[in-house]
Amino acid sequence: MKKWMCVVCGWIYEEEKGLPEEGIPPGTRWEDIPDNWRCPDCGVSKQDFEMLEI
C-alpha cells in the first residue's frame, strides 16, 4: 500500500487506512479515488498530491 502527500499542506493519504469519514474504505488505492476528490485539509485537487517513497 502506498502513501500520497498533498504538496500544498502536507496532508497524507494512506491507502492502507483509507478515509472512512469521507466514505473511502481502508485499502482503497489512490487510482480508485474519484478524480473530483479534494484534500480534506486545504481543498486542492488530487493532482496536487505526490506519492511518498518509503
CATH class (in words) of the domain with range 3-52 = mainly beta
Neighbours of 32 (CB within 10 A): 10
pLDDT of residue 18: 98
Domain boundaries, the chain: 3-52
Task: Identify the band that residue 53 occupies on the pLDDT scale cut at 50, 70 and 90.
Answer: confident
> How far is Cα 1 from Cα 20, in angstroms, rounded to an integer?
16
Tens digits of residue pLDDT in 12-51: 999 999 999 999 999 999 999 999 999 999 999 999 999 9
Give the length of the chain: 54
pLDDT band at 54 (very low <50, low <70, confident <90, very high): low
Q: Is 5 annotated as a binding residue?
A: no
pTM of the model: 0.90
* 39 marked ligand binding residue: yes
Q: Report which of 35, 13, 11, 36 is spatially closest to residue 25, judged by C-alpha positions.
A: 13
